[in-house]
Amino acid sequence: MSTKRQERRNEIARAAVAPLSEQGYRNVRLSDIGESLGMTGAHLLYYFESKSDLFMSALRMVEQDLRASAYDAFETLPTARERWDWLLAAGAPMGLHDSGLLMWLQAWSEAVHDKAVHDLISELERDWQGLLREVLAYGVARGELDAETDVGGFVEGFSALLDGLTIRVVVGYRPVDKAQAIAISERYAASQLHWRTAAPDAAAPDAAAPDAAAEPQTDETNGDDA
């Protein structure tokens, strides 16, 4: 796929997040998505093989944008604790209008019966947990966290907690808002992460800079170059 076509594909996928999250993957038609973007459904099929292909590409854009925002923020956040607090605020669900997490709720449902969606969310979850581990490992290296901190075990439990809170906040069936979700997450983290101020001469490796394995993947699943 040509670079120009790939860029346009990414732009469309990013713009499709709004109609997909507002109307729901099962309810919205390609023609509805196209109309909201000033395109036809047939034109969308030039860039995407199917509605499912568009949905998965849109979800990938949500996560790539979050990761890019994180690394931009880390440029001005020198400590691991500041970076961790940023990730918690960014990852905590905002409510019924949180388009990114509405996409995730739909993806979890689709993944039960669609292997392609299952594989995608498994990949994206690994990337998210990897970002959390990077920040905590950075904290260990700086002396902000104990060297014995079970980073992997904590991240697995923390991610599961955040997933559960996402359902409660976004679906809205329990009276939990973003601030409460953050408070619950902080209490869980405080039981296992014992933050302290790093020594002035503590080494500060750039552990949160993206490596080759973490770079955003291009989505080249649809046909030949234009």
pLDDT value of residue 218: 53
Return the amino acid letter for 175: P
Q: How far is CA 221 from CA 41, 116, 218, 226, in A?
A: 18, 12, 9, 13
Helix locations, 39-194, DSSP H: 41-47, 51-74, 80-91, 99-111, 115-142, 151-171, 178-190
Exposure string of 182-215, with b = 16+ CB inside 10 Å and e = fewer, is bebbeebbeeebebeebeeeeeeeebbeeeeeee
pLDDT at 91 > cutoff 70? yes
pLDDT value of residue 202: 57
Q: Which residue has the tokens 């490796």?
A: 205
Q: Which helix (H) or strand (E) holds 94?
A: none
Please count the CA atoms within 13 angstroms of the CA of 216 that sit on its side-chain side. Answer: 18
> Quick one: pLDDT band at residue 224, thresholds 50, 70, 90?
very low
User: What is the chain's length?
Assistant: 226
Sequence-distant (6+) residues with CB within 8 A of 32 are: 19, 23
pLDDT value of residue 219: 60
Question: pLDDT tens-digit profile of 23-76?
Answer: 999 999 999 999 989 999 999 999 999 999 999 999 999 999 999 999 999 999
CA distance 134 to 60: 20
pLDDT value of residue 171: 79
Domains of the chain: 53-199 (1.10.357.10)
Which has more confidence, 54 or 204?
54
